[in-house]
Amino acid sequence: MKWKGSRQSDNVEDRRSISGGGKAIIGGGVIGIIVLLLNLFGGETGQQIAPILEQMQGGQGQQTEAAAPLSKEDEEMGNFVRAMLAYNEDTWTKIFTQHGMTYEKPKLVLFKGAVQTACGGASSASGPFYCPGDRKVYMDLDFFEELKTKFGAKGGDFAIAYVIAHEIGHHIQTLMGTSSKMRQEQQGKSEAEANKLSVALELQADFYAGVWAHDNQEKLEAGDIEEALSAASAVGDDAIQSKMQGHVVPDSFTHGTSEQRMYWFKKGYKTGDITQGTTFEEIR
C-alpha cells in the first residue's frame, strides 16, 4: 500500500521500548497456543481471556523494564502503522459524517511482550485485539511473523493493514452499539448460539475492513488484496483448528471460517457500503 509521505496519525501510543520484557511472556507451550486460539483477533473474547491471563502471569504482567531502543525497522513499522491509522481516521470520519454520526478516533497501542489494558493484562500471544473498555487497539507486531510462519499467510504490509482495519471495525461496532447489543443477546444462550453471534460480529469487522479498503483503492498496490485475503483465510477458525488440533469443531467457531472471512472482506471491498454488512441477519 502506498503510504510514504502521507499523514501520520498522532493516536498511536508506542510502548514498544517500555513494555514488559521476556518475563511476562507466556507465549510458547500449550498455554500460548490455547490463548492464541481463543484470542486471535481477540475483539470481544479479549475481555474474557484477559483475567485468566493475569492469573497465569501471577501479576508479572505489571512489571516493566527498559528494553532496547527501537531499531530502524521498528521505527519504519511504527510509521507505517501511524499512516494506516490515519487512513482509517479519514475514511471513518467521512463515512460517519455521511450517515449523520460522529466518529471518535480510537488510540492504537504498539507493545512488545506484555501490556496492561482496561480489559486486563495481555501478552503478544493474544494476537492483536480491541478493548472496548478503553477503546484502544493493542498490537504486538511480532504477531505478523507468526501469521506467516505458523499460519502460512503470505504476509506483506497489507496483511497488517487488514488486521488494523479489522480491529478498527470492532471500534466501529462499539460506537454503533452493535457490540453491546450482541453481548446482551448472548445472555442466556447456549454456547453454540453465543458463538454464532460472536462469528457474526467478527465477520462484520472483516466487512468493515473491506469497506475501508474500498475507500482507499487508489493507494492499493498489486497483490494487496491477495495479502489481506491470505491473512483473513489463515486466521479462519477452521484453518486454525485444523492446524492446532487436526480437526474442526464448527460449534466452537468464534470468528468464522476462512471462506466466510474472505467473503465478507470482499463484500465490503466491492460495495464500500456500510449498510451491507448484514452478518447478523445472514449467518445465523
Per CB under 5 A, residues contacting Zn ion are: 41, 43, 202, 205
Q: How far is the CB of 41 from Zn ion (least distance, A)?
A: 4
Task: State in Å, rounded, how far the first CA of the chain is from the last one.
Answer: 34
Residue bearing cell 497488517: 160
Shortest-Cβ-distance residue relative to Zn ion: 43
Which of 27/132 has CB closer to Zn ion?
Answer: 132
Q: How far is the CB of 159 from Zn ion (least distance, A)?
A: 15
Which of 121/127 has CB closer to Zn ion?
Answer: 127
Q: How far is the CB of 46 from Zn ion (least distance, A)?
A: 9
Which of 24/117 has CB closer to Zn ion?
Answer: 117
Q: How far apart are CA 43 and CA 179, in angstroms?
A: 10
Q: Residue 196 carries which side chain, given as an amino acid letter?
A: K
Q: How far apart are CA 164 and CA 41, in angstroms?
A: 10
Which of 43/121 has CB closer to Zn ion?
Answer: 43
Q: How far is the CB of 256 from Zn ion (least distance, A)?
A: 10
Q: How far apart are CA 263 and CA 248, in angstroms?
A: 20
Closest by CA to 249, choosing from 47, 263, 240, is 240
SS3 assignment, position 40: coil
Q: Residue 284 carries which side chain, given as an amino acid letter?
A: R
Which of 24/168 has CB closer to Zn ion?
Answer: 168
C-alpha cell at 112: 512488545
Q: How far is the CB of 271 from Zn ion (least distance, A)?
A: 20
Q: How far is the CB of 174 from Zn ion (least distance, A)?
A: 12
Q: How far apart are CA 188 and CA 280, in angstroms?
A: 18
Residue bearing cell 454520526: 101
Which of 24/237 has CB closer to Zn ion?
Answer: 237
